[in-house]
Structure 1
Amino acid sequence: MAWIKHVRSAIKWLSVVLAVLLSLFLVHQCFLPILAFVFPSLSSAFFDLGVYGFYPTQQFISFDLLGPQPKRLRWDDRCDKGYIMTTPNGPSVERPGPMMLDAKGELVWISDDFGATANFKVQRYKGEDYLTLWSGEKAATSGKGVYFMIDSTYQVVRMVSAVGENLFGDLHEFKITEHGTALLSVYNTTTADLRGMGRGRGANGWIVDNLFQEVDLETGELLFQWSAAANFDPVETYMTNPFGGYWESIPFDFYHLNSIDKDSLGNYLISSRHFHHVTCISPTGEILWILGGRDNQFKDLSDGKATDFRWQHDARWVSEEEGILTLFDNQKAGPIHSDAPASRAMFIKLDIPNRTAELVQSFESLQGILASSQGSVQVFSDSHQTFVGWGSAAAYSEYDQAGNLMCETHLGASWFYWFERFKSYRTTKSFTWRGNPKNPPQAKIDDDSLFVSWNGATEVAYWALEVSRDEASPEAERDDPAPGAQTEALRSQRWENIDIIPKTGFEGAFDLPSVPSSEKPFTHYRVAALDKEHAILRYTELIGYDDDDTESSTLMILFKLFLVIGILAGVRLMFKFYRSGQSFRSWSNTQKPVWADWSPPSTYVRRARRSMPFEWIQMKWTGARRPR
């Protein structure tokens, strides 16, 4: 019959397509890695093709978290200073959290203690530098959580919350001002008249009202609050959401406030992604002017190129005197909102009295990245260089004053950026951060090598390997109580310095020497972290070669034993099941144990999910001290 012929033809073509896809997969996963090994010059192209994975990582022996394997597509020595702050998250990131890299993309510090994080950067408060970040529970394109301030020893010293009942800090902004206050964003679900949007939306539709607050850091007092819903009609949004606004569980995010800045006159500069505009608000809450969007009040002197930004982020003043601000122009918001082939960093000059706007500069990435979300622009006042984080694309770039691309680093495969496998809300750079971790360096022996690392330390220039032939006392087995200090037990133990290596990358490695049988064997090793003047910063804990080797061997023996027991037990159960005359089909229809179908009530799940981040916050905050 004819339909059988059509089915056979469809199966034939489906088989051909599957065979082609399988062949491409095998070439991608097997042949290309071999080709990259033979021809190293092709590694950059293969990196962006995802041959090494969407987000290639490297493992360490002395440290249990993964670091990135960056690919520098362009490099200039003028970029070789400072530390890069990013917050990896996405499907390819196993354990999200704040991450600090050196200028070349090598790991410096990483933590998974904070879970989902955003807005990680260095800020100054009362003359000291702090790492600041948002942490909490993400919900679609916003978040409910708090902000943390972390000192140079990587200890939490202050937690900042939004002010108001049932209000929580949002991930988009936490900026410390020079007056000791903090600007923070708050996303709050409420009702509004959405009849003008049509499609059955009512007078009490559900929206996300975007608030921002200014809070006194010392007292926690609310100094100022502004509401987008009180000033703009949700009907005027550019965002489309066919399901938004009908139910409280799916509110319409009509405004999407994503950055807050403040000028010397006390006026606030805010960016709205879904209104395509940048707005200036007075200290009394009055709207002073609007740049871009439907309500643009500026004449564009650059043939529309200064006001045609779309879905933008991170609007900041660079020079109030010259009227220059920067922003990250995404030009895309998801698959159905795409307005240009590439995202860009923009410098816009405003003549506020005469209401004119002019595009001064715009920068694109080396490969024309189009970032559908997130992104940041940072200008360094000393060098006038510009650092751009590409948001949902795993990349960052640096430009000179003339706008020439100096450096670009990829942390993920650029051909798959549209999947958003690795993303960071903002990526920033600091030249002032100095990290002196409270925890000591970590060392571990693997085979005939000793590996050492110190998570977060920025002043280490060398590693020094020391050995002892003496039996250590119990006191000596513990780490010295303070950086550079030694206990009496350690001072009485004799140590020999047998090797010094420069610190390159996150982890250093020593080849352990063999000891002639005529000499007394080494009993313990330790590694000293040295600064550039060879002064001792801190010692690792003592480590014995035989103990470490015995422990590894014991664990492997236990693993193999349990594996054999598990296989034998499984075979016995299968044989017993077969002898009983049952089948897998009949077993699936028999009564299942209670735990197989058990799930907590939905109300319990919602309550647990709401309480989890706040229980965790209480735990993190316990014992934290306030900066003086």
Structure 2
Amino acid sequence: MAWIKHVRSAIKLILVVLAVLLSLFLVHQCFLPILAFVFPSLGSTFFDLGVYGLYPTQQYISFDLLGPQARRVRWDDRCDNGYLLMTPNGPSVERPGPMMLDAKGELVWMSDDFGATANLKVQRYKGEDYLTLWSGEKAATSGKGVYFMIDSTYQVVRMVSAMGKDLFGDLHEFKITESGTALLSIYNTTTADLRGMGRGRGANGWIVDNLFQEIDLETGELLFQWSAAANFNPMETYMTNPFGGYWESIPFDFYHLNSIDKDSQGNYLISSRHFHHVTCISPAGEILWILGGRDNQFEDLSEGRATDFRWQHDARWVSEEEGILTLFDNQKAGPLHSDAAASRAMFIKLDIPNRTAELVQSMESLQGILASSQGSVQVLPDSEHTFVGWGSAAAYSEYDQAGEMLCETHLGASWFYWFERFKSYRTTKTFTWRGNPKSPPQAKIEDASLFVSWNGATEVAYWALEASRDEASSEIAVGAQTEDLRSQRWENIDIIPKAGFEGAFDLPSLPSSERPFTHYRVAALDKEHAILRYSDPIGYDEDSTESSTLMILFKLFLVVGILAGVPLMFKFYRSGQSFRSWSNTQKPVWADWTPPSSYLRRAHRSVPSEWIKMKWTGARRPR
């Protein structure tokens, strides 16, 4: 019969397609890595193709988290200063959390203590620098949580929450002003009349109302609050969501406020991604002017290029006197909303009295990145360079005053940016942070080498290895500070410059009976060779070292075991069991927290936020 013939042809076609895809996969995973090993010069190309993974990472011996492998697409020595701040998340990030890198992309500090985080940056409060971040439960493109302020020892010293019943801080903004107040965003699900949207939406439809608050950090007093739903009609949004608005579980995010700034007159500058506009709001809550979108009030002197931004983020004043602001123009919000070939950073000059706008400068990525979400623009102090984080694409760039690109780095495979396997809401650069961790440097011996790192320390210039012949020295030294140590028990063995996150010393490979030293420790030294901190002493344990031959045999048996175990795993799966019970994926601490019975009556409250409040009750509250 004819239909049987067509089915057979379709099956053959499907099998051919599957065979081709399988062949490409095997080439990608097996053949290309061999080529990369044989021809190191092709490493950059293979990095972009994802041969090393969509988010390549590197392991450390003395530290249990994975650091990124940065690929510098373009480099200029003028970029070689400061520290980069980001909050990695995405499917390829095993343990998300705040992360700090040096200018060349080497790890400086990271933590997984906070779970899902966003918006890490350095901010100044009462003359001191703090790392600030949002932490909580992410829900698609928003979040419910709180904000932390972390001091130079990486200890939480303050927790800031949104004010009001059942309101939680959103991930998009937490900005400390010069007057000691905090600006923060809130995404609150509520009802609204959505009949004007059609498609069966009713008078009691569900929306996300975007609020922002200004809070006095000293007293905790709520100074100001503004609501998007009270000022704009959801029917005017550019966003489309065929499922949004019908149920409380899928509210319509019609406005999407994603940045808040404040000028010297007390006016607020906010960015709405889904209205394509930047709005200025007075201290009384009145709308003073609107730039971009349907309600644009400015004449564009640049043939439309100053007001045609779409799906933008991070609107900031650069110079009030000159009327210049910056923003990150995404030009995309997913596959259904794409308006240009590339995202860009924009400098826009406003003449507010005459209501004119002019594009001063725009900057694109060397790779032509089109970021469908997130992103940031920062004008660096002193140099006045522009630093751009490309949001959902794992990349960042730096430009000189004339807008010429100096450097561009990415942390993920560029061919797969659209997968958003690694992303950071904002990426910023700081020149003032000085990290002095409370915990000491960590040292570990493996394969006749001693490895050392100090997570978060920024002042280390050298590592100095010391050794002791005295068995009792470790009991004296463990946990002790410099002034408590008996230096005569220790001998200087070696000193190396700090290069990268982890340093390594070669230890003498002698039998234990001939080994002259029993214990080792490492001193972290500053650029003047002054001692910053000692690691705890560790003994040379022969059992902890592994020969290359044993490691090769172990890997061989591991491969054989995997090949033999795969059929058993599938048999287990087919028997009705689940792989989930075998997973080693780390869960956040709050996942095992049992809420009180009162919580069950408030099901819309965020479990992570409740856990965060419980966990950080020791953090100093505003006083």
> In 1, Cα distance between the equivalents of 2:72 and 2:245?
44
Residue by residue over 1:291-320, the C-alpha shift from the partner in whole angstroms, topping out at 9 and shown as x without a partner, is 000000000000000000000000000000
Summarize the Cα distance change of 1:586–1:543 in structure 2 as closer, same or farther, 3 Å threshold: closer
Q: Can you give the 5+ residue segments of structure 1 that lack an aligned partner in the other structure? A: 575-582, 590-599
Find the aligned partners of 2:152 and 2:354 in 1 and give their Cα distance.
Answer: 46
Secondary structure of the residue aligned to 1:280 is: strand
Residue 156 of structure 1 pairs with residue 151 of structure 2: no
- Please state if 1:616 is matched with 2:596: no
User: For residues 468 and 174 of structure 1, what CA distance do their matches in structure 2 show?
Assistant: 49
Structure 1 residue 477, shift from structure 2 partner = 4.7
State the match for 2:216 in structure 1. Answer: 216
1:33 aligned counterpart, secondary structure: helix
Cα distance in 2 for residues equivalent to 1:77 and 1:544: 41
Residue of structure 1 in register with 2:468 after alignment:
468
SS of residue in 2 equivalent to 1:254: coil
Cα distance, 1:626 vs structure 2? 6.2
Deviation for aligned residue 1:8: 2.1
User: 1:60-119 deviations in whole A, cap 9, x for unaligned?
Assistant: 000000000000000000000000000000000000000000000000000000000000
The code of the aligned residue for 2:540 comes to Y
The residue type paired with residue 495 of structure 1 is W
User: Does structure 1 retain, via aligned residues, the 8 Å contact 2:182–2:217?
Assistant: yes
Mapped partners of 2:453, 2:605: distance in 1: 37
CA positional deviation for 1:627: 9.0
- Distance in 2 of aligned mates of 1:179 and 1:541: 43
* Alignment correspondent of 1:279: 279
Count of aligned pairs between the two proteins: 590
Q: Distance in 2 between matches of 1:145 and 1:54?
A: 29
Q: How far does the alpha carbon of each residue in 1:542-600 deviate from its partner, in whole angstroms, 9 at most, with x for none?
A: 10012762899xxx9xx99xx9xx99xx9xxx9xxxxxxxx9999879xxxxxxxxxx9
Q: How does 1:205-604 map to 2 (within 5 A)?
A: 205-472=205-472, 475-481=475-481, 485-487=482-484, 490-491=485-486, 494-514=489-509, 521-546=516-541, 549=544
CA displacement at 1:338 relative to structure 2: 0.2
Distance in 2 separating the partners of 1:394 and 1:6:
45
Aligned equivalents of 1:551, 1:28: Cα separation in 2:
32
Q: What's the CA shift string for 1:397-418, capped at 9, x where partnerless? A: 0000001110000100111111
- Mapped contact 2:447–2:545 kept (Cα < 8 A): no
1:199-240 Cα offsets, whole Å, 9 max, x none, are: 111111111100000000011100000000000000000000
The secondary structure found in structure 2 opposite 1:171 is coil
Q: TM-score, normalised by structure 2?
A: 0.90
Cα pair 1:469 1:520 within 8 Å, conserved: no
Residue of structure 1 equivalent to 2:30: 30
Q: 1:422 to 1:442 in 2, by over 3 A?
A: same
Q: CA offset at residue 517 of structure 1?
A: 8.9
Does the CA-based 8 Å contact 2:474-2:537 persist in structure 1?
no
Instruction: Report if aligned partners of 1:395, 1:409 keep a CA contact under 8 Å in 2.
Output: yes
- Tell me the equivalent position of 1:16: 16
Q: How does 1:38-49 map to 2 (within 5 A)?
A: 38-49=38-49
Contact preservation (8 Å) 1:472, 1:493:
no
Q: After alignment, is 343-352 or 505-514 more displaced? A: 505-514
Other structure's SS at 1:336 match: coil
SS in 2 for 1:437: coil
Q: Residue 325 of structure 1 contacts residue 349 of structure 1 at CA under 8 Å; is this kept in 2?
A: yes
CA shift for structure 1 position 516: 8.7
* Secondary structure in 2 matching 1:169: coil
Partner AA of 1:347 in structure 2: F
Structure 1 residues 518 and 546, CA gap change in structure 2 (3 angstroms): closer
1:141 aligns with 2:141: yes
Give the conservation status (yes or no) of the 8 Å contact 2:146–2:609.
no
Which residue is equivalent to 1:578? none
SS at match of 1:231: coil
Q: Distance in 1 between matches of 2:29 and 2:310?
A: 38
Retained in 2: the 8 A contact 1:195–1:202? yes
Larger radius of gyration: 1
Q: Is the 8 A contact 2:279 2:287 kept in 1?
A: yes
Could you report, residue by residue, the CA deviation over 1:250-279 in whole angstroms, capped at 9, with x for unpaired residues? 111100000000000000000000000000
Give the letter aligned to residue 282 of structure 1: S
Q: In 2, Cα distance between the equivalents of 1:606 and 1:411?
A: 44
Out of 512-521 and 270-279, give the one that drifted further. 512-521
* Separation in structure 2 between the aligned mates of residue 412 and residue 16 of structure 1, nearest angstrom: 31
TM-aligned CA deviation for residue 608 of structure 1: 8.4
Which range is displaced more, 332-341 or 507-516? 507-516
Note if contact 1:86-1:100 (Cα within 8 Å) is conserved in structure 2.
yes
The separation in 2 between residues aligned to 1:584 and 1:285, in whole angstroms, is 62
Q: Which amino acid aligns with 1:248?
A: E
Shift of 1:384: 1.0
Q: SS of the residue aligned with 1:47?
A: helix
CA RMSD of aligned residues (A): 2.8
* Normalised TM-score (structure 1): 0.89
Aligned equivalents of 2:546, 2:477: Cα separation in 1: 17
Matched to 2:23, the amino acid is: S
Structure 1 position 496, deviation (Å): 0.8
Give SS of 1:124's match. Answer: strand
Report the CA distance shift for 1:474/1:156 in structure 2 as closer, same or farther (over 3 A): same
Give the Cα separation in 1 of the matches to 2:574 and 2:68: 49
Counterpart of 2:585 in structure 1 is none
Structure 1 residue 609 displacement after superposition: 9.2
Which residue identity lines up with residue 117 of structure 1 in the other structure? Answer: T
Match of 2:587 in 1: none
